[in-house]
Chains A and B, each alone.
Chain A
């Protein structure tokens, strides 16, 4: 008999059950058999994740661009190491063929590698030295907006999920991922990738749960500076936008494409510094 596990939440570098003591069953695609049990994250779990993410942001933002690049590359390496686990998951839970599952993992690994190479370059493309009319060295420097929550697409697309996470991380932010209904079981191996890639605790947190339960808390939490809304539920996006206006959250709609600079620039702030020039 197969041992069915409960996949735990990933908060502050640890695998924990929800404090609410709730779980739900995740079934194999097209069948009525259980694939795994998942924790149903509560408001308190989300708040814990934000607390941890604040610290994770400080640590991540202070790392050098070179170091960030290497850590993202490490994620590609760790995903490669877990290739079979991911493939089996996609075949068993989503009913993919071996070829499809392999392609899914390949494209996700490529996405990690793509953003790894961007960490130490996008500042040079999107930042600037500004020729002001005066004796000042004037430059525009880029930094992350801060704690970002990713509302994942409800239709599971592994590459897109990795793209969404990487674009937030590359921008210098920490991320709290709320997995969609598509394939929340990916939480297990994916969190293990982040847990073994030399990230500080809290830089990536991953939750499974229900968007409808958590959406108001995400929108209203003042410490969450940005939301990457990748779900197709446009009405929920507009509702969250409305509820987040009081804290002026940066609400980012669905990305149009993947592996591009724009996705990173959605999660940055520009800081212009005027430094005097003179004797």
Chain B
């Protein structure tokens, strides 16, 4: 007994010694004193190197931007009935890129009639395997013309070329490729049951992922045997219209895909059209509610992919540098114009200070500026309207306490740019913690227990996505079960794949896009 005691004591002593030693060597004071002594010995001034990136601009030459773009109806580009056009600009330079047709109820009606005719004729009569082959063809052409699409996407929308090149365009092609294969396998999507296509689908998409959202909407709809009338966002119509050219190149039968450009009124004409069987909308929760209300009196089917205020939970056992990287990707990817952006960080209290320091350091390294530069991390805010909205919310946030930090980076004087920033330790009821900013603005709060993290994460009307950072698998799964969100990323964030269903709970919408579950909203099960 006594022996054991002494050995324990000894062990404790040595442990104490070693920890105190370790602590000493780790403290910055100790490090400084070491530096001082070396300075005394050799007082040579070390030169500070600043590594900067040379410009690496992507060429615009590959894209031929026309001066004017028309609607794509019944397989042809046609002028708007009312003859109205709107400007589309490059938000990084504010230059006008082209004029784009403004659709009204008459244009929409023409498009719906073409879609109905194709649904009852060519497309409706075609076998699944033939339909699939058209979709495979579109996927391939998208891949072949990927660079053209990427450049056009960045010019029209302001997102960094590395994102449109590495994320948007390859994923858009992958979506067509994935759903192409479903076209002749619908019976396996609803085993034991019979299903038929819904009919003519009206699809309205946002400006944050213009081509990718068009692919998310068109590919499953066509695979299931439907025809579509799609309206891209008024800010970013060009890649959707280039996709229309791809449809022509793929010899897709006339009327299967129709694209009517325009703003809110054009969208309202689509939702109001009597001969549309289903509406699919991606965009803000406010507009989603207006659409839901507008069609509540009809029997139109509806899927909505709306906003979010997604939580990114960082446990103290997380690989911290990896988590910082993930948080940066979660909120600053695509300038924060992402419905599932990890806009609320919930970090365990014990590591909060370290995390915030690391995050500040990492944010300083972000390259904000010319979206066409291949080194740019954060591009241009999509529009002046959005920039004003972000600025107003940040200004309001600054009046609500907490610590505000803005990345110490330069931004171009021309164009719409915004420095990445965060608000730490604001109350859970603060504007930035509750409202979807849709910009590079992060809210940071702390928690002490997993239950508290889950409760705080779920304390929102939204339920789109969430992130969990931990090195413990069981903890990740238990947390994932408790989170009320449609997509959960563990030790990663903002990953998308055509096979993985995407969509939200509660006010983040209804229905899923992607995967087997993503084809169901386009089918009528008998």
> What is A's interface to B at a CB cutoff of 8 Å?
125-126, 128, 130-134, 136, 138, 140, 145, 225, 238, 241-242, 245-248, 250, 253, 256, 260-262, 269-276
| Contact partner, B517, options A140, A238, A261, Cβ 8 Å | A140
Chain B residue with minimal CB distance to A248? B507
B492 contact from A136, A260, A270, Cβ within 8 A:
A136
Determine which of A130, A250, A275 lies in contact with B499 in the assembled complex, contact meaning CB atoms within 8 Å.
A130
- Contact call A125/B492, Cβ cutoff below 8 A: no
**Is the beta-carbon distance between B515 and A248 smaller than 8 angstroms?**
no
8 further A-B contacts with Cβ under 8 Å, apart from A140-B515, A245-B293, A275-B477, are A130-B515, A133-B174, A138-B499, A238-B296, A256-B526, A262-B193, A271-B485, A272-B487
* A248 with B501, Cβ < 8 A, contacts A269-B486, A273-B480 known: no
Number of A-B contacts (CB under 8 A): 103
Residues of the B chain whose Cβ atoms lie less than 8 Å from the Cβ of A133: 174, 497, 499
Task: Flag if A271 contacts B289 (CB, 8 Å).
Answer: no
Given A130-B515, A271-B486, are A136 and B495 neighbors across the interface (CB < 8 Å)?
Answer: yes
Residues of A within 8 A of B296 (CB): 238, 241-242, 245
A246 to chain B: closest residue by CB: B289
Contact of A271 among B192, B285, B488, B510 (CB under 8 A): B488
Within 8 Å by CB of A276, from B490, B499, B515, lies: B490
Residues on A with C-beta less than 8 A from B515 are 128, 130, 140, 272
Contacts of A275 in B (CB 8 A): 473, 476-477, 490-491
Docked CA distance A267–B499 (Å): 23
List of B residues within 8 angstroms of A241 by Cβ? 292, 296-297
**Which A residues lie within 8 Å of B285 (CB)?**
248
B421 to chain A, nearest CB (A): 27
**Which B residues lie within 8 Å of A269 (CB)?**
486, 505
Q: In the assembly, what is the distance between CA of A269 and CA of B526, in Å?
A: 21
A241 to B300, CA, bound (A): 12
Min CB distance A171 to B, Å, is: 14
Interface string of B487-526 (1 = CB under 8 A from A): 1111110010101111101110110100111000000011
Q: Which of B174, B298, B497, B512 contacts A270 (CB 8 A)?
A: B512
B177 to chain A, nearest CB (A): 11
Question: A264 CB to closest chain B CB, in angstroms?
Answer: 13
Can you list 19 A-B contacts with CB-CB less than 8 angstroms, sorted by A residue number? A125-B191, A128-B516, A132-B500, A136-B495, A140-B517, A145-B505, A238-B296, A238-B298, A241-B292, A246-B289, A247-B507, A253-B299, A269-B505, A270-B501, A270-B512, A272-B486, A272-B488, A273-B477, A273-B490
A276's closest neighbor in chain B, by CB? Answer: B491
The reply to whether A248 and B292 form a contact with Cβ atoms under 8 Å apart is yes
Q: Tell me if B489 and A274 are in contact (CB < 8 A).
A: yes
Q: Within the assembled complex, what's the spacing in Å between the Cα atoms of A275 and B468?
A: 10
- How far apart sit A271 and B517, CA to CA, in the bound complex (Å)? 11
Q: Which residue of A lies closest to B473 (CB)?
A: A275
Residues of B within 8 A of A140 (CB): 500-501, 515, 517
Residues of A with C-beta under 8 A to B483: 271
Residues in A neighbouring B491, C-beta threshold 8 A: 275-276
The distance from the CB of B486 to the nearest CB of chain A, in whole angstroms, is: 6
A243 (CB) vs chain B CBs: closest residue = B296
Contacting pair A248 B506 (CB below 8 A): yes
Enumerate chain A residues within 8 angstroms of B501, measured Cβ to Cβ.
Answer: 128, 130, 140, 270, 272
CB contacts (< 8 Å) of B480 on chain A: these are 271, 273
Please indicate the chain B residues that have their CB under 8 angstroms from the CB of A256 in the complex: 526
Contacts of A125 on B, CB cut-off 8 Å? 191
Instruction: Count residues of B near A (Cβ-Cβ below 8 Å).
Output: 45
State whether A132 touches B497 (Cβ < 8 A).
yes
Q: Is A272's CB under 8 angstroms from B293's CB?
A: no
Closest 10 CB pairs of A and B: A132-B497, A241-B296, A242-B296, A245-B292, A130-B499, A245-B293, A130-B500, A248-B507, A273-B488, A276-B491
Q: Given that A128-B516, A270-B512, A271-B480 are known contacts, is A242 also in contact with B293, CB under 8 Å in the complex?
A: yes
CA gap between A126 and B480 in the complex, in Å:
19
Q: Which residue of B lies closest to A247 (CB)?
A: B507
Point out the residues of chain A lying under 8 angstroms from B526, CB to CB: 256
Contacts of A145 in B (CB 8 A): 505
The distance from the CB of B176 to the nearest CB of chain A, in whole angstroms, is 14
> Nearest CB to that of A253 among chain B residues?
B299
List residues 155-197 of chain B with CB under 8 A from any CB of chain A.
Answer: 174, 191-193
Question: Whole-angstrom distance between the alpha carbons of A94 and B35 in the complex?
Answer: 95
Provide the bound-state CA to CA distance between A242 and B298, in Å: 10
Q: How far is the CA of A250 from the CA of B502 in the complex (A)?
A: 17
Shortest CB distance B474–A (Å): 11
Docked CA distance A128–B498 (Å): 13
Instruction: Flag if A272 contacts B193 (CB, 8 Å).
Output: no
CB distance from A46 to the nearest CB of B (A): 20
B506 touches A225 (CB 8 A): yes
Cβ–Cβ < 8 Å partners of B476 in chain A: 275
Question: Would B297 and A238 count as touching, CB distance under 8 A?
Answer: yes
CB-CB < 8 A to A250: which residues of B? 510
Q: A159 vs B471: C-alpha distance in the bound complex, in angstroms?
A: 50
- CB-defined contacts of A238 to chain B, threshold 8 Å: 296-298
Q: How far is the CB of A239 from chain B (nearest CB, A)?
A: 8
Give A253 to B473 CA distance when docked, in angstroms: 40
Chain A residues near B174 (CB, 8 Å)?
Answer: 133
Complex-state Cα separation, A8 to B296, whole angstroms: 35
Cα separation A226 to B310 with both chains bound (whole Å): 22
Rounded to whole Å, the gap between the CB of A257 and the closest CB of chain B is 9
Note all chain A residues with C-beta closer than 8 A to B512. 270
Complex Cα distance, B178 from A130, in Å, reads 12
Report the bound CA distance from A272 to B192 in whole Å: 24
- Smallest CB–CB gap between B20 and chain A, Å? 34
- Interface contact A248-B509, CB-CB below 8 Å: yes
